[in-house]
């Protein structure tokens, strides 16, 4: 009986030592194989989340690149706007040059008038507004040389000629009622106010002028806006 009691006591001591060895240093029980397996699975989940985060970072880089492209687009638009504004400023407020105008002439004589009339039309084809005022230079080409028109005493009014719009002035001359051939008119030369470049036009009026004894010029030109069409239109 004594021997069996000692054996039981030894076994009890050994069991206590074994239990102590299975505990961690802080007294917490060590994880079981099942817990370790679950921890391993959890570690695998974290690794998968890390891969997704990496993919997300790649998408963010693409968005950043897209934003950069958008910034470049805004810069280009601003540059274009600036250019457009400069073009508009350049085109406004200047005088009408010969190359800005489409110049035509037509017979505007009204029955019963003592003098005949040719209306000259300036149409602004420049693409921008321009200023025109005063008197155009007018010469009639004839078989006896050029005849320069003299200015009437009418006041000159400045006009802002809008793009695509027209303004008129009149040329008056006497009818050739002498029964003779008179001075034959072969063409019309028109120089816009303040310009040196001349437009050559066909003469749309009567074919001749009477010969005057005084030798004075029988042709007169009115200011811009003086023709019967009502000025600028």
| CA proximity to 175, closest of 120, 117, 104, 119 | 117
| Residue 184: per-residue pLDDT | 94
The alpha carbon of 184 is separated from its chain's Cα centroid by a whole number of angstroms, namely 50
pLDDT of 206: 94
Beta bridge partners of 166: 123
Q: Tell me whether strands 150-151 and 220-221 are parallel, antiparallel or unpaired.
A: parallel
Coil, strand, or helix at residue 75?
A: helix
C-alpha distance from residue 128 to each of 48, 82, 101, 165 (Å) = 67, 18, 11, 11
Distance CA 223, CA 132 (A): 10
Q: Residue 230 — φ and ψ, nearest 5°?
A: 95, 25
- Rounded Cα gap, residues 155 and 220, in angstroms: 14
Name the helix (H) or strand (E) containing 14. Answer: helix 2-21
pLDDT of residue 215: 65
Tens-binned pLDDT, residue by residue, of the chain (233 aa)? 444 443 444 444 444 434 344 444 444 444 444 444 443 444 444 433 333 333 333 333 333 333 333 333 333 232 322 222 223 333 456 999 999 999 999 999 988 788 999 999 999 999 999 999 999 999 999 998 999 999 998 999 999 999 999 999 999 999 998 877 889 999 999 999 999 999 999 999 999 999 877 767 789 999 999 875 444 44
Entry pTM: 0.59
């Amino acid at each position: 009986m004594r021997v069996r009691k000692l054996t039981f006591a030894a076994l009890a001591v050994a069991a206590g030592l074994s239990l102590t060895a299975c505990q961690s240093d802080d007294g917490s029980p060590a994880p079981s194989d099942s817990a370790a397996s679950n921890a391993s699975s959890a570690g695998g989940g974290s690794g998968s989340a890390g891969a997704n985060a990496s993919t997300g970072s790649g998408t963010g880089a693409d968005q950043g690149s897209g934003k950069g492209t958008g910034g470049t687009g805004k810069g280009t638009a601003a540059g274009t706007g600036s250019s457009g504004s400069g073009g508009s400023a350049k085109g406004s407020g200047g005088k009408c040059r010969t190359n800005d105008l489409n110049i035509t002439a037509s017979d505007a004589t009204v029955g019963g008038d003592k003098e005949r009339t040719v209306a000259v039309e300036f149409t602004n084809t420049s693409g921008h507004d321009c200023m025109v005022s005063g008197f155009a230079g007018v010469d009639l080409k004839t078989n006896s040389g050029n005849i320069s028109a003299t200015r009437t005493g009418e006041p000159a009014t400045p006009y802002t000629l809008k793009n695509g719009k027209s303004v008129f002035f009149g040329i008056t001359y006497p009818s050739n009622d002498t029964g003779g051939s008179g001075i034959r008119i072969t063409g019309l030369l028109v120089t816009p106010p303040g310009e040196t470049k001349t437009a050559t036009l066909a003469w749309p009026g009567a074919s001749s002028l009477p010969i005057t004894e005084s030798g004075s010029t029988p042709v007169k030109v009115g200011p811009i806006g003086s023709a019967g069409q009502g000025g600028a239109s």
